[in-house]
Homo-oligomer: A and B are copies of this chain.
Amino acid sequence: MTVRSISIKDVARRAGVSPTTVSRVLNNSAHPVNSKTRRRVKAAIAELNFHPNRLAQGLINNKSHLIGVIVHDLSDPYFAEMVKGMERVIIKYDYIVNIYNTSRDVDKELKAVDLLRANRAEAVVLTGGTLLDQHYREEMAGYIKELQSNGSIVLGVTAHPFNIKSIELGNSLAARLITNYLLEQGHRAIAYINGPAILGTTNERWQGFQEALLARKIPIRDKWIVAGDFSFEGGRRAARQLLDEITGLTAVVASNDEMALGVMWEFKNQGLAIPDDLSVVGIGNIPAAKYAYPPLTTIALPIFDLGVQIGEYLINTLGDKGSFNDQPEVQLSLVERDSVRSLLEV
């Protein structure tokens, strides 16, 4: 059934040279090749439409040409954008980008890394926050160690409890910035909607929120701290929960945009006006934030750019040209839209 594809030997025969010479032409080897011979070889390659077998190449250089990317939820524009940014760079260098969607499930995440290890991935990127789970931590540490001892790069976006290079996203700073913005607008009674408990990102943002309030000595009220899961539906649930304790509340910080949109939707659904009755902010600046009603005030995380930077970092580090030690850097910025009411001009 499967026909043997043409190999370097076929080309050699056709060009009347040895496979070695073909290989040299193919790889622009430093070894000299007569320009006439080179032309003959190139002609033969073209005529036979020959392409070297990557598996054989990989076997001999111990290179898989595979880059693994672990993603929590591909439908979340946060991850989709990051992957697109990475791919934009990586595709030029003919690496295979292998994406795993894990839904923040411990077993799926472990399975993904296990497969990447088995496939000798040259790099693995953990694009989401770390999972807070003992079993995960132990198993993952083993896989990562093995990957690294095989010369693979392992990279994490935001802090991970492993010995890997991590790219700081400024989660804590983002939460602090957006909270400070509310404070500057005169808000003092502020609710906070957390992310999924299993995520490190959740802790980091929660930290930033607390810092902002503590810096102004504003007490944190338990009844206004609500659990969430980073989804639109989670935002809706949180909003319904807040409704019971709404007296005195003037603003809500959702720890990501999806939830902020859910919160606004549910509040509107319950007859509240935003921002007149209640201000709402998020973190992330996903595309939908711009078109919400009202448009959402949030912190922009330039995720696509981050993806591009990660891609460049990987290519430079994987290339033989010695490691390129730039630390990708993310610029956060406040995106002021219409979901916050100022309490100053009362």
Contacts and interface: CB of A to CB of B under 8 A. Distances in A.
Interface of A: 1-5, 49, 51-56, 58-59, 62, 64-66, 74-75, 77, 80-81, 83-84, 87, 91, 94, 96-101, 108, 111-112, 115, 117-120, 146, 149-151, 232, 261-262, 265, 268, 287-288, 291, 293
B64 A55 contact: yes
A3 B151 contact: yes
A232 B291 contact: yes
Nearest to A75: B80
Contacts of A77: 75
**Chain copies in the assembly?**
2
A62 B54 CA distance: 11
Contacts of A55: 55, 58-59, 64, 120
A150 B5 contact: yes
A3 B53 contact: no
B94 A97 contact: no
A301 to B, nearest CB: 15
B91 A100 contact: yes
Contacts of A94: 115, 118
A59 B91 CA distance: 23
Contacts of A97: 98-100
